[in-house]
Structure 1
Amino acid sequence: MLTRKQLELLDFIQKRVARDGVPPSFDEMKDALDLRSKSGIHRLITALEERGFIRRLAHRARAIEIVKLPEAMEKPGFKPKVVEGDRKAPPKGAMPVSAEVMELPLMGRIAAGVPIEAISEVSHHVAVPGSMLSGRGQHYALEVKGDSMIEAGINDGDVVVIREQSTADNGDIVVALVEGHEATLKRFRRRGHMIALEAANPAYETRVLPEDHVKVQGKLVGLIRSY
């Protein structure tokens, strides 16, 4: 079953494809659904793809295949339609892009050091291998600021891939929201009714907080580094 917003977006895409022969841009989708940022559209697109209603195609800009429609939207004779964008084929000798490459919203910076204010706005999108997106659910990316996780192989300036979830096992590296307004990247440990947020750098002390002061917002599932 689709949510109201998912159904609205699928209907908007289907109508624009039927009218113009090309799918709408993320900006057009955002305006049509009256959303404040494109991150909301990205999440709706991902949800529709996971439920098998659409398929995003590699190597083509703004290319979406409508695989099926809900019963309420189905029309006689409906067939999936591939909509090609205007991206040119890669030049000869270029490395092919994997069909499993996905775009994730980069939500800004996350502190691997002293916590910084919580992050909620998308700065841009980054392409990541689909194999990095472990399990089902929403994913997003964050740029690391600081050096408190260097012994876990996470350096200042790295981009971490996070799967959204509200629980964690001991030893997981998580995005933790501290006291409702600070976000930090740390290793998670539960100690009774307390939560320890451990750095991976001896220069930083472990923070131990009451469990109701810490909210897990996601788990680290991948890392991207530029040289």
Structure 2
Amino acid sequence: MNKYDNLASIIDYTLLDPTATKEDIKKFCEETIEHGFKTVFVNPYYISYAHSLLSPHGIKVGAPIGFSLGGATTHVKVEETKEAIENGAEEIDMLINLGALKSGEYDVVKKDIVEVVKVSKGLTTKVIIETALLTDDEKVIATELIKEAGADFVKTATGFNGGGATVEDVKFLRKVAGNNIGVKAAGGVKTYEDAMNIIAAGATRLGASSAVAIINGENSKVNY
């Protein structure tokens, strides 16, 4: 066992590029097996294919729900979640309804999460809040709603809407979350040093497209 094995076990390796081809997904899955990652995230269209390649190796495929803006209706997010699970998804990362949050419609935000958690039927659920787009007060409210809705993690960002995981935001979210839920840091985690700093700040899961570079202790310019 090398010193990166434990790190690989908490990284969600991601390939969410909108132009990713089937061949790209195949190579991505081969890298996942080679390096020992436990969970990957691909766009919904590729969940079934990735699952077919990775399930024999005990590797989970996760689904991004409401990606990457969060503005879909609850009904759409629920149906997307159901189909993803039918296709083999075993973890769910949903994007919070940012417009409703900014409008102060907190019941809508909470119900959105509750309904996705309900149809996930015990699978690990993470809720993306896009920290770069929120005030500190909104980060607190969002995290509290996530806890109340029964999700398992608050997640910093998609990496597609500006900003990403920072040490400061992870510390802040960990303080608000307490020990009740996990904190997933995603967006901008590109190097081994980034990963170590983020974990020290309180993250219990990382999301990165640069996962191979991270565990190899290499620098990378690849975006999440």
For the aligned pair, the TM-score class normalised by the smaller chain equals: under 0.3
Question: Higher strand proportion, which one?
Answer: 1
TM-score normalised by the chain length of structure 1: 0.27
Larger radius of gyration: 1
